Every structure is written in structure tokens, then in C-alpha cells.
Chains A and B, each alone.
Chain A
Amino acid sequence: MLQRIRSAPPRYWLVVIVVVFFLGFPTTISSFLASEWAQALILAIAIMGLNILVGYSGQLSLGHGAFMALGAYTSAILAHRYKMDYLVTIPIAALFTGLVGFLFGFPALRLSALYLALATFALAVVTPSLIKRPDELTGGVQGILIIQPDPPQLAQDAFATITGIPMTTDQWVYYVSLFCALLLFWLAWNLIRHRPGRALRAIRDGDVAAAASGVNIGGYKMLAFGISAFYAGTAGSLFGLSTGFVSPDTFPVSLSIQLLVGAVVGGLASIPGPLLGAIFAYFLPIESNQWVPSQSWIPDQIASTVKNAGPAVSYGVLLILIMIFAPNGMVGLIRRGYDMLNRRLRGASDRETGQLPPDPQTV
């Protein structure tokens, strides 16, 4: 055991550090900040789902906000109308959304990448108006209020022992989100390293060759859609929990674009990518409030325009620049920097073998 720990590659240690960081983080920050970080983690789950679909299986979805909406409304309706415990509704919503995604993957099989992008984009634009219609069920424009559960006694006691202050609901939601995120990232990691992951990448890089090697293309593509929707559904359900309500305006087109930005910026076809991308895509619009210093000589109008337009402009510029110059996103850049550092440090030995690590192909 000790031997195995000692010989673990450095990235395992990185994982341990990240997990410990996220576990301990809320004890040091305010309850409000904890709820913001919870939402960043929730976004990371959805982006991981999108990453499995776009990065690993090569199918482009511009409408993942719709799957988040489905998950959120499933949970909200179950909790509100049927008085179920919200936490119990999360896996139900995830499975239901996953099933819908799996079935959605069937017609998607017939579509080329371009048409799929087009259809999913249209879906994202229509989603808010579709939600409004059955207002008996969805509460129409007002949406549905979600009663946030109190933290259980055990968690409260543990938190109070560590920090000395009682645990708030926001902090509890953070830990629920963290638990789901860890579970789903671990699942994704395992999925990618084993048979389904290899099959998906084979299809992405050459479907004819994959089919010739006996990969069931249709089945795996549908599976990718199902898994991806499962992630988005979980994220949507958690999102409702963390905001305390769901309404049609919670799921605009810009949410789907935010997810795509997160996936691309973090790095497609990588496991840490969605986490980095989510933190970036979540905090960029929030921080844009502070981009204009509040000086008296700057008119309010300019400040509010920058606040409104800033995120869109920077999202757009980043999407374009990253796709042109760094298609592997932040993770790609970090990897490149690490490799360069490594080569510089052990220059001689690498020069002898004359081999450079192959550039990971993503898109």
C-alpha cells in the first residue's frame, strides 16, 4: 500500500490536493461565496457532460441548457407537487434527463455535425417559451419555488466542530454539489479510460475505421448523448436547489453558450478541463461588475453597459482566440508549459530519444 502511494504519479497528488481544497474551502469563506462556488461546481458537472459529448464523441450540442432545464423542472415538480424530498429527486431527475437524452440521440444519429448543431441551437432558443406553456405543471413565467432543505444534524455538528459556527443552507448545498461533482468526475474518468471511452474516441477520429473494428457506432453515440444529458440533468436539478427557484428565464440561450465556453476554454477532451472552464465561465460575468472602477466621473450608463456587454464580448473573443490558437484550452496550455519545463529540466535525456510527447488531438 505504502509502495503504491509512493509510486503514484504526480497528477494523483494533484487530485488529492484539489479534493482537500474543495472540502475545506467553505469553512474559510462566507456563506454567500460558498453558494457562488456551489454554482460553479454545478456548472462544472454540466460542462463535463457537454465535454463527454463534444470532446470525446465529437457530436456538437449547442442546446445543453435545455437538458439542464429538464432536470431542474423534473426535480422541482416532484418536490413541489408530490412533496418528495428534494435530495431524492436529484437522481430521479438525472436518470429521467439521461433517458430523454439517450432517446434524443437516436434522431441525432441521422444528422451531420452541422445539422445537429443547428437543431440543438434552435432547441436552446425555444426552451424558455416551451417551458412557459404547460403553466399548470411548470408555473408558467413565475416558475416554481423550491424549499431548500436544512442541513442534516450530522453535517451541522461536524461543521460546527471545525469552524465553530453553525452550517447554513448554502454551505450544505455546496457540499451536496461537491459530492455530486466528485462522483460524476470520477465516473467520467473511469468511463474515458475504459472500453466506452476508447470506442467514443475511435468514432470521433474516424467512424468508418471504428465501425470496421466492430464498434457499435449508433449505440455508442446514443450512449454519449444519454450520459451527457444525465450530467446536465444532475446539474440542472442541483441548480434549482442552489438558487431556490426555477423559472423559464433561468435557462436562456446564453446558458447553453456559457456551457460551451466553459468546455472550450477549459479544454475539450480532458478531465480537469471542465472544472477550470466552469470556474472561468461562472465567475467572468459576475466579476465583470467590478471591471469599471466606481469613480464619480464615469457615468453610470457606461458602467452598466460594460457590465451587460462585457461578458458577451469576452466570451466571444475567447471562443475565437482559443479555437484558433489553443484548441486544447487551458489544460492544453498547462500541459504544453509543463512539457516544456520538463524538457528544459531533463533536456539531454529527451534529446537522446528524440521523442516528443504526441499532441493530444481534441476536436
Chain B
Amino acid sequence: MQEFFQQVVSGLAIGGIFASLALALVLIYNAMGLVNFAQGEMAMLATFVAYALINRGISYWIVFPITLVIAFGGGIAIQRLVIRPVERAPILTLVIITLGLATLINGLAGFIFGYVPHSFPSPFSSETVDIFGVFISFRDLGVIAVSGLVLLGVYLLLQRTTIGLTLRAAAHHPEASRLLGVQVSWMLALGWGLASAVGAVSGIMVAPILLLEPNMMQTIIIYAFAAAVLGGIESPLGAVVGGLAVGVTINLAGAYVPGVGGDLQLAVGLAIIIAVLLIRPNGLFGRAAVRRV
């Protein structure tokens, strides 16, 4: 039983990472009805930026916010340069473009930083603390705390500030917002920036666990897809719940289902995606899509 709880806690930690990336996906989905296939690669590139800064001897806690700001700016730049010319294009075009973006960023990272895996520092010690007989590492607790703070921050930004209100308005009713003087296109850019920064958190959190290399996020993005789909792809709360659920599920499956371990955990992610899409396509928190003919 103790081992079970330990698995659950480390599942929650990895789930927090999935949740951040899934939240990034949800932010962009809400802004323009698109799943950003490049989200993971954007996070990976931001993590490389953090790595380069840390290697210059800058303290981790200064690098962290700087990286988020850079990621934010990068997200806006990508939206302005690549996405804006095709804002109104069919979804097929947009998906192919984000996939192109993913390939491009992956190649760029390999070009600049090489393909040799780097170890990435974690600010939390790997010692464990005994809570009611369950041993939990500070590292897991730290990841849970950071992910929680980020998610809370995004929630407050979207729900409690004018910018958040404008962002949501621009996403849900672009025409009406434009009439009220909202610069919708810039709000989309802001959404991309925000998503990029939130995604960067997941990259920085996951890099000490995996090793930092250009293909690091390739598996994480699948889990984030699973999390977003499970939560209902338009619901930020759903992304968080979905992320935690996926994290715990794959951890428990890896520990207790015979034959599931190592890279077959990824198949659990795929199974979750397919099962949700077939049984409940709108996820746990999503609204049913209504289509007017």
C-alpha cells in the first residue's frame, strides 16, 4: 500500500508536468481552434535557452523567470511571423504548418545545441521526506509546487485581470471584441506567448528527469495530448485534472500491469487518447460540440 501511494505521488509530479504542457495546448486551442503540434518543441527550445544561461553561471532562480520571458517573446514572434498569415486558413493547413514548425524547431535545436544529451540541474534535492510512512522526494514535491503555482497564475491571469478578460473575449467572440476595440490579432499573439511560457515550465521541469536533447519532448507531448483530450480540449481546468490523471495512470500501469513498462507506457497514453475520443470525445470537462447545418 505504501508503494502504491509512492507511485501515486510521483505520478502526480510527472502529471503536473503534463498538465503544464496540456494547459499550453488548451490556451492555443481556445484562442484559435488549433492543436499546436509544435508546443513540445517550443518548450524544448526554451529549456535549451535556460540550459545555456545556467551554464554561464547564472543562478537557477534568476534563469527561470528570464527563460519564461524569452519563451513568451518567442511565442509572440512565432504567431506574428508564421501563424498570422494563415489565421483564417483551413484547419488542415494550420495543422501542417504547426507540424512544420515542430520539425523546424527540432532541427534548429539540434543545429545549435547538438544531439548529445545534457544533464539538467534541478533546484530541489533528491532526498526524501517521510510523510505518514510514504517517502516522497523533495524533487517531486518541488515539481508539484512549481506546476501548481504556474497553473494558479494562469487561472488568476485569465479570470481576474482585464487582460485575461480581453483574451477570452477575443477568443470566443472575435467580431464582437473587434467592434469593442479589442485588437484581436494581438490578443492571439498574446495567447501564443502565454502558451509558450507555460509550456516552457514543463520543459524545464522535465529536463532533470529525462535528459535534455532535441527529442526530449516527443513523448511528453503525447501525454500532454492525452491529458488535454481527457480533460476536454477547451477546458483549462480539464487540462490540469487530465494531466494529473494521465501521470498517475501511466505510473500505476508501469508498476502494476505486467508487460507495461519502459517505452510501452507511451502506448498507455495512446490508449487513453483513443478511448476518450471514442467514448467521450468532449472529454471530462468539455462541452459537446454543436454544429449548425
Contact = CB atoms under 8 A, between A and B. Distances in A.
A129 B264 contact: yes
Interface residues of B, number: 50
B100 A316 contact: yes
Interface string B264-293: 101101100110011001000000010001
A322 B89 CA distance: 13
Interface of A: 54, 58, 60, 62, 107, 110-115, 117-119, 121-123, 125-126, 128-130, 132-133, 208, 253, 257, 260, 264, 301, 305-306, 308-320, 323-324, 327, 363
Given A125-B219, A311-B107, 5 more contacts: A113-B91, A115-B277, A123-B270, A125-B218, A260-B99
Interface in B96-112: 96-97, 99-108, 110-111
Give me the 7 closest cross-chain CB pairs, A-B, nearest first: A316-B104, A319-B100, A312-B107, A313-B107, A316-B103, A309-B111, A129-B263
Contact of B34 (A107, A114, A301, A310): A114
A132 B105 contact: no
Contacts of B207: none
Given A118-B35, A129-B267, A308-B110, A324 B102 contact: no
Contact of B222 (A115, A125, A323): A125
B95 interface: yes
30 contacts: A54-B92, A60-B92, A107-B277, A111-B277, A111-B281, A114-B91, A117-B37, A118-B229, A119-B277, A122-B226, A123-B270, A125-B219, A126-B269, A129-B262, A129-B263, A253-B218, A264-B96, A312-B104, A312-B106, A313-B103, A313-B107, A315-B104, A315-B107, A316-B105, A318-B100, A319-B97, A320-B101, A324-B82, A324-B85, A363-B93
B111 A313 contact: yes
A310 B229 contact: no
A264 B97 CA distance: 11
A363 B107 contact: no
A110 B281 contact: yes
Nearest to A117: B95
A200 to B, nearest CB: 14
A313 B104 contact: yes
B99 A312 contact: no
Given A114-B95, A316-B103, A318-B100, A119 B108 contact: no
Interface of B: 33-35, 37, 82, 85-86, 89-93, 95-97, 99-108, 110-111, 114-115, 218-219, 222, 225-226, 229, 259, 262-264, 266-267, 269-270, 273-274, 277-278, 281, 289, 293
Most chain B beta-carbon contacts within 10 A, residue among A114, A122, A327: A122
A232 to B, nearest CB: 18
B266 to A, nearest CB: 5
A161 to B, nearest CB: 46
B92 A363 contact: yes
Given A306-B111, A313-B108, A107 B82 contact: no
Nearest to A248: B263
B103 A315 contact: yes
Contacts of A208: 293
B101 A316 contact: yes
A312 B263 contact: no
A207 to B, nearest CB: 10
A363 B104 contact: no
Contacts of A323: 86, 89, 93, 96-97, 100
Contacts of A309: 107-108, 110-111
Contacts of B111: 305-306, 309-310, 313
A122 B107 contact: no
A213 to B, nearest CB: 14
Nearest to A60: B92
Contacts of B91: 113-114
A257 B107 contact: no
B281 A118 contact: no
A60 B98 CA distance: 13
Contacts of A318: 100
Contacts of A314: 107
Contacts of B262: 129
A110 B86 contact: no
